[in-house]
A and B are shown apart, each in its own frame.
Chain A
Amino acid sequence: MTQNEKAAAAKKRSHAIMIIVLILLFILFIIPFIMVIINVFKVKTDIVSNPLSLVGEHGFTLQNFPNAMAKMNFFVVFKNSLIITILSTILTILVSAMASFVIVRNGKWKFCSGIFALMVASMVIPFQVLMVPLVSVYGGIFSVLNHRITLILMHTGFSVSMATFMFHGAIHTNIPLELEEAALIDGCTRWQTFWKVVFPLLKPTVATVAIIDAMAFWNDYLLPSLVLTSKELYTIPIATQAFYGTYSSDIGLIMAALLLAMLPILILYLFLQKYIVAGVTAGAVKG
């Protein structure tokens, strides 16, 4: 066997081990999801008596889907969730990318580093702590609750710190200063430099933040339930709250609602994956 063949064989072997490890981990990660899929086609009594059986004693049922959809007024709340998630995510990305840019590039300014430290520290505040003061101020004093725009701006305000934190890291390590300087010398303003040079290079981070935030906004229950009080503004998680009781819950309906709600996020995730992978070319610029 030549040296090359040996190396090739070793590579093949490590590749095979990797695949096996991946598949095992994959199964572990996916089991609960599979359980959801199995049980969503069963009635409650079959779910409780044997969650693992493929078809329950009462047979296969599709009833959970239309029931859940009717009870939660699916199309209206889906549209509401979509509007709020899309606008909040875009707004968060724009304002945090901009903020982190100026914070990184003026890192020596006490003001900038101070704001950054404040944002980082604020990420540890449990939301339950802010809940009552938040509604006291914006409901009790300003009465701006029950508008979509309020929720969008609040979503943004709450997630701006984490997004800034992530963009901060990306700009700090991955955006070469020389590129910006070159653009400035070419006559670009800072504003233009940011949008034409820096922002396109941030694509992988934008994609990551977009997924993380979109998911958080899409699934958030507590904040929307505080802000949106009229039923025609309800988002998916608030619309499904009547499935959850202290003494009982409709597990079949909850699972159906979960599956209906998670599709858009999975699609978004797969779509944005491309941009994360596209980061390879972006990163190559500095090489």
Chain B
Amino acid sequence: MERNTFSYKLRQILMFAGPGTILFFCVVIVPFIYGLYLTFTSWDGVSANKPFVGFANYAAAFSDSAYWIALGRTAIYSIFAVVFINILAFALAYLVTSGVKGQNFFRAGFFVPNLIGGIVLGYVWKFVFNRAYVAIASAITGAPATSPLATTGGAMFCLIFVSVWQYAGYMMLIYVAGFMSVSDSLKEAAMIDGCTPSQAMRNVTIPLMRSSFVQCIFLSITRCFVVYDVNLSLTKGEPFNTSVMAAMHVYNTAFTYKNYGMGQAEALILFIVCAIVGVTQVMIGKKGEVEA
């Protein structure tokens, strides 16, 4: 057999990875490179002329303090959101795979938040924070309460809360698949060997689910860093532009303030920061992965 020759392997790779890779390159990489070129122009987004300006957009991006503040804010938001999303998602996955009655029903329920996005999400949660919360808090304290959406820290809290609510069900899916891939016989063997259920969980299930953890943490980091929809529908950056996240700032710079090249440059910086964080996490996670 000629399985180890170079041309055989190359054919294999082209046959299996070819279609996916070609599509990926056409749709993601080609526009990305063109976008990269646009960062060196002072294009406004619609005009036919795209004057070349060299690194001026990067210089402008680096001195745009509002952008760096937004980026720092996004980092803080992401840390909290990622931690809580994953804790909750893991707990949910554990609960709905433990064999309780009606677990399919629960799974569907926890998944539903994923289907409520955009303006409905903003509408419902604004009601909860602005009116329901205020009414309850005023009744308890006896003094008129302020809506959390109207305060700087409160708006951040609301963004984190709603993100956790939305993504926990999504990540739960991946954790459920992870739980399911750890066979019951392995767990039972561990129990027979004298492990308590929690020990079995710590020593058998969790190590075997490492790839689920890597995936979920990576996905939640990347989702949080480029958060836009929740930001737009829930706070629109208010109050006083103190809840503008990086992606929203980028969008505004590029389109609302018609500074496309600079917006694109800021997006590229966001991408690099986010890629470094995400890829590092994956590398660390993959290192200790248990191989089948």
Contact = CB atoms under 8 A, between A and B. Distances in A.
Direct contact of A and B (CB under 8 A): yes
A126 B28 contact: no
Interface string B160-198: 000001001110011011001111111000000000000
Residue from B35, B173, B181, B186 whose CB has the most chain A CB atoms within 10 Å: B181
Interface in B10-40: 12-13, 15-17, 19-21, 23-24, 26-32, 34-35, 38
Given A22-B95, A126-B226, A258 B120 contact: yes
B75 to A, nearest CB: 13
Interface string A8-44: 0000000100110110011011111101100000000
A129 B95 contact: no
B143 to A, nearest CB: 23
A86 interface: no
A266 B115 contact: yes
Given A106-B9, A190-B12, A22 B100 contact: yes
Interface string A96-128: 101101110010010110010111111111101
B62 interface: no
A170 interface: yes
B95 A18 contact: yes
A258 to B, nearest CB: 6
A270 B108 contact: yes
B260 A277 contact: no
Given A18-B95, A51-B127, A102-B12, A284 B275 contact: no
Given A129-B267, A157-B24, A173 B278 contact: no
B106 interface: yes
B16 A101 contact: yes
A141 to B, nearest CB: 10
A132 B45 contact: yes
A158 B28 contact: yes
Contacts of B251: 128
Given A95-B23, A124-B225, A15 B16 contact: no
Interface stretch (A58-66, A73-81, A205-213, A228-236): A205-213
Given A125-B28, A157-B23, A157-B27, A174 B250 contact: no
Contact of A208 (B16, B125, B173): B173
A265 B115 contact: yes
A164 B20 contact: yes
Given A136-B31, A173-B210, A273-B107, 13 more contacts: A33-B116, A118-B29, A120-B279, A122-B29, A126-B267, A153-B23, A153-B27, A161-B28, A166-B215, A208-B174, A258-B115, A262-B115, A266-B108
Interface of B: 9, 12-13, 15-17, 19-21, 23-24, 26-32, 34-35, 38, 45, 92, 95-96, 98, 100-101, 104, 106-121, 123-125, 127-128, 131-132, 165, 168-170, 173-174, 176-177, 180-186, 208, 210-212, 214-215, 218-219, 222, 225-226, 228, 247, 250-251, 254, 260, 264, 267-268, 270-271, 274-275, 278-279, 282, 289-292
The 6 closest A-B pairs by CB, nearest first: A157-B27, A169-B211, A102-B16, A95-B20, A133-B31, A157-B23
19 contacts: A95-B23, A98-B17, A99-B20, A102-B13, A106-B12, A133-B34, A137-B31, A157-B24, A166-B215, A170-B181, A172-B289, A173-B181, A208-B176, A258-B120, A262-B112, A266-B111, A283-B182, A283-B183, A287-B183
